[in-house]
Amino acid sequence: RREQRPSTAGQRLGAPESFGVSTLEPGLRPPAQPPGRQVSIRVQMLDDTQEVFQISQRSPGKVLFDLVCVHLNLTEGDYFGLEYQDQRKMTVWLDLLKPTLKQIRRPKNTILRFVVKFFPPDHTQLMEELTRYFFALQIKRDLACGRLICNDTSAALMVSHIIQSEIGDFDETQSWQHLLHNKYLPDQDAIRDKITDCHRKHVGQTPAESDFQLLEIARRLEMYGVRLHPAKDREGTKLSLAVAHTGVLVFQGYTKINAFNWSKIRKLSFKRKRFLIKLRADPAQNAHHDTLEFAMASRDCCKIFWKICVEYHAFFRLFEEPKPKPKPILFTRGSSFRFSGRTQKQIIDYVKDSELKKVPFERKHSKILSNSSMSPQPASFRSQVPKEVIQFLVSPFILSLIYCNYAPFSFLGRFVHIYSPHVIVNGSGSVNGQGIGCTGVLGPGQSPEGRQLSPLTSPLLTEAGYVRNDDEDEARRKKFPTDKAYFIAKELLTTERTYLKDLQVITESFQSFVGKDEVLPDSVKNLISANYDPVYKFHQGFLKEVEQRLAQWSGRSNAHIKGDYQRIGDILLKNIQGLRQLTIHLQKHSECLVELERACRSSRKVETVCRDFEQQRVCYLPFNIFLLRPLHRLLHYKLILERLCKHYPPTHEDFRDCRAALADISEMVLQLQGAMMKMENFQKLLELKKDLTGIDNLAIHGREFIRLGCLSKLSGKGLQQRMFFLFSDSLVYTSRGMTPSNQFKVHGQLSLYGMTIRESEEEWGVPHSFTLFGQRQSVVVAASCASEMERWVEDIRMAIDLAEQSSSPSTDLLSTSLPDNSNGAEQESEEELCSSRSSLERQGHRGNTTVHVCWHRNTSVSMVDFSVAVENQLSGNLLRKFKNSNGWQKLWVVFTNFSLFFYKSHQDDYPLASLPLLGYSVTVPCESENIHKDYVFKLHFKSHVYYFRSESEYTFERYPVMGNGLFPSYTLFYLQ
């Protein structure tokens, strides 16, 4: 299907509309993405720069890929792909059809690489110079890492063309110095003379010509575009498999020993660790079908290579993108994976038929300004983009500012600031195609109507947002600070107070409680004391420094006149460097959690004492959550520093300290990330174990929690409410028991190994229903709404894929075979669930755990939601008002674990009440509600309505943004 001539680069990519704001197309609006929280994704380009892109958490991989192509203004983007390391440390391609966050478990700590995916046999098939430039960068990278193996003559000639492209004509001194300071080959020194001799011969050659010559040499090499996948033949000989435009290749070392053309291959498949190539029969030799078998390291390796082969075959052999497979009527067999994107023929035809205008593009590594370097871009770009903006875009130092991105915070760009008439939001909400979540402040006499903002405009490009010189603003500052940095620092203070109280639960309350009966083994007691007490002592000193600085900043002394104390980066830098000395203790916290659980399993007395402690008012969360608090706090520091770095201009006196502190804390987070993820999953399994009865051992090695929530199960008695728990190996369904502990009684288990899933709304006449086909039984279930159904289906399919990757079916979770004969369970009223005292003072098992809240409000929550929630916590003063009350009550509020906890003041040891927020919506009051106050947001669920008033615009924006996208049905309706 041939497309019409487009008007934008986004449409040139084959999308119905642009998926982002290109820096080269002023005036475009970001398109509507799937609803949900915005997430920041880092992508490393071929020129080694990194860019941050904003996508919805439910966006498929194609949205991110198209954003990258639009940002680069790349017409022939289908030759490229995004690769990354998954949780198994295997390099895989981003699937364009699957949701990005279903593939990337930790987006904030994952860097995707934009690289060449399909290597055509002839570089003249690449129609655009920009595309050839990116291919040249890929060849340069392959040479440097030793992947593109060749003889010295070819290597020297290729490097000489790269140098010609970067520094121009040969100059002995300059060329020699350039080779000394740049590494193009692993053994470059041995052939340095050959390189310079070749470079002498390229006089007058432009960068574009150098790229062309480089590709001409590279394409003739046997290892051009080859990515080796280790394997063995049937005799156990070590080989490597690869795929090219011609078919599947077999290498021994770096020598090609066999090649199977696509025309000879009948089928490619894999079975566990075996990769199978079925060849067509040769009529001339009267031969039968032949099947070649290769053993690879694992099933995952086989599947990854098989997917690459499928895509290579479709890209080079098909005329158009293959159609998706029809949904099976009953059972699915094999993978549904298919190639997504335009084929090579479609790309060539499209570019030939499109008269694309050209303007210069930037060659990052080249010192030559060449007018011949052209790439498809709007012709009006040169007249619309100021010179200083272009300089801003190509400055690595300035670009580094944008990388400090906090996904939920970027939602602020979508607010209309009705309380501040002088503040406007950048129409695109982005810089370089990425959200910044900042506002620009108009100067006196300026108005949004009188000035057309470019998508490139941001506060980082102008001083307008930082100048407050009039007497009125200065007087207001003396009374109370108005700088956003102050409120970010105040968030650090308030959350640090809560964090110190949480540490106190471990170091004082728990140790005092278990010390009375002396049932806890000394080894466990000493382990906890030795690794939490130093952390608690350190943060006592840290909190005092922050309190003193904020007191000075807020104008309680004369320090604000000099401006010496209107910063926080110096304190953060000093204390984060001190915190690094405690890394050895932080690394032991996971061991503390494991050893405490081991003690509970081995002794009924220890388990009883720990459960009794969890019923104490001071332990307002499951105790294991407190044990993980120090690791989670590192994430909070990182996010606070990212917001500060995003807010400050580079010239601000606090910027350098904040950047240094951010680098230190990012390194610590990266170092402890693996242990943190494992412990979060382990903690969640332990927590769920307390809510379930009828399961032997839930927390076993290798099992991952994925989602829990309510679904209605179809049986002979009709639809009955059930609580479902999805793990990486099985799906368990329960009902709430009539026991004193309010535990959920397990009724059945479905193994995910061999399971299939099918939507069945039309078959059963039940809205939002789907059928799960297990090996021993089938279950029909229905979700409360379409979005809930979509979440469940996506996660179950992901879990099925995980189960298939395991070597054997899961073991039975259930301790006994329990019939599904429950007629439902006792309902808990919303008043009981949310009342000021009952949810915190009820004896026995807590009734406001996540499982019970999901049961009552008929919703679900996933492990991804839990992981995001621990990163996003708030503390501080809020004014609360009930629906029918007159006055406002000032409370200290802690937002954590999907709940609001209310205290009289931050000095209280335990909360007076709690409000679980799963299922709640957050909006702003309408005119008819007569809430004539600034910074008020409303929480409501059915007939339950609460109003909260914050002290500043920053806090007003933070609370709704924190909730939005963190969990299902907790939604934020933006002012339009």
29 assigned to some structural domain: no
The CATH number for 244's domain is 2.30.29.30
The distance of Cα 970 from the centroid of its chain, to the nearest Å, equals 19
Q: Would you place residue 828 in the very low, low, confident or very high pLDDT band (cuts 50, 70, 90)?
A: very low
Question: Which domain-ending residue is among 635, 657, 684?
Answer: 684
Same domain (yes/no): 628, 717: no
Which bin fits 339, alpha (ψ -120 to 50), beta or left (φ > 0)? Answer: beta
- 476 compared with 932, residue with greater pLDDT: 932
Same domain (yes/no): 180, 120: yes
Alpha-helix runs per DSSP H in 484-620 = 484-504, 511-517, 522-553, 559-562, 569-580, 583-586, 589-602, 604-614
Question: Which domain-ending residue is among 165, 197, 219?
Answer: 219
- State the residue for tokens 């690489």: 113
d(CA 100, CA 55): 9
Q: Would you place residue 130 in the very low, low, confident or very high pLDDT band (cuts 50, 70, 90)?
A: very high
d(CA 487, CA 550): 10
Q: Which of 832, 873, 860 is nearest to 963 (CA)?
A: 873
Domain count, the chain: 5
Q: Are 549 and 489 in contact (CB under 8 A)?
A: yes
pLDDT at 764: 78
The residue type of 216 is E
578 assigned to some structural domain: yes
Question: What does the mean pLDDT of the chain come to?
Answer: 77
Q: Would you place residue 328 in the very low, low, confident or very high pLDDT band (cuts 50, 70, 90)?
A: low
pLDDT at 775: 82
The burial of 800, by beta-carbon neighbours within 10 Å (0-12 exposed, 13-18 middle, 19 or more buried), is given as buried
882 assigned to some structural domain: yes
Domain span holding position 639: 483-555+564-684
- 698 compared with 475, residue with greater pLDDT: 698
The CATH number for 496's domain is 1.20.900.10
Residue 808 confidence (pLDDT) above 70: no
Same domain (yes/no): 124, 254: no
The residues, any chain, with a CB within 8 Å of residue 236's CB and separated by 6 or more, are none
How far apart, in Å, are the Cα atoms of 305 and each of 240, 245, 251, 593, 726? 11, 14, 15, 39, 29
- CB atoms under 10 Å from CB of 53, counted, come to 26
Query: How does 76-109 read in b/e, with b if 16+ C-beta sit within 10 Å?
Result: bbbbbbbebeeeeeeebbbbbebbbbbbbeebbe
Same domain (yes/no): 511, 654: yes
Torsion angle, alpha carbons of 347, 348, 352, 354, to 10: 0
The residue type of 41 is I
- Supply the angle between the helices 152-167 and 172-181 in degrees, to the nearest 10: 110
Residue 714 confidence (pLDDT) above 90: no
Same domain (yes/no): 134, 48: yes
- CB atoms under 10 Å from CB of 646, counted, come to 23
Same domain (yes/no): 679, 785: no
The residues, any chain, with a CB within 8 Å of residue 132's CB and separated by 6 or more, are 123, 126, 208, 211, 212, 215
Percent of the chain with pLDDT over 90: 41
pLDDT at 318: 83
Same domain (yes/no): 147, 265: no
Residue 447 confidence (pLDDT) above 60: no
For 141-150, 755-764, 835-844, 894-903, which range has the lowest pLDDT when averaged over its residues?
A: 835-844
80 assigned to some structural domain: yes
Same domain (yes/no): 544, 661: yes
Per-residue model confidence as pLDDT tens digits over 517-553: 788 999 999 999 999 999 999 999 999 999 999 988 8
Ramachandran angles phi, psi of 164, nearest 5°: -60, -40
169 assigned to some structural domain: yes
522 assigned to some structural domain: yes
Same domain (yes/no): 701, 789: yes
For 78-92, 369-383, 659-673, which range has the lowest pLDDT when averaged over its residues?
A: 369-383
Same domain (yes/no): 250, 214: no
Q: Would you place residue 209 in the very low, low, confident or very high pLDDT band (cuts 50, 70, 90)?
A: very high
- CB atoms under 10 Å from CB of 698, counted, come to 19
SS3 helix, strand, coil % of the chain, rounded to 5? 40, 20, 40
Residue 401 confidence (pLDDT) above 80: no
Give the tokens for residue 418.
């009705």
Same domain (yes/no): 702, 573: no
Model confidence, pTM: 0.55
Q: Are 468 and 474 in contact (CB under 8 A)?
A: yes
Mean per-residue pLDDT for 490-506?
95
The CATH number for 48's domain is 3.10.20.90
538 assigned to some structural domain: yes
959 assigned to some structural domain: yes
The burial of 283, by beta-carbon neighbours within 10 Å (0-12 exposed, 13-18 middle, 19 or more buried), is given as exposed
The distance of Cα 707 from the centroid of its chain, to the nearest Å, equals 18
d(CA 11, CA 27): 15
Same domain (yes/no): 882, 928: yes
Question: Which domain-ending residue is among 759, 789, 805?
Answer: 805
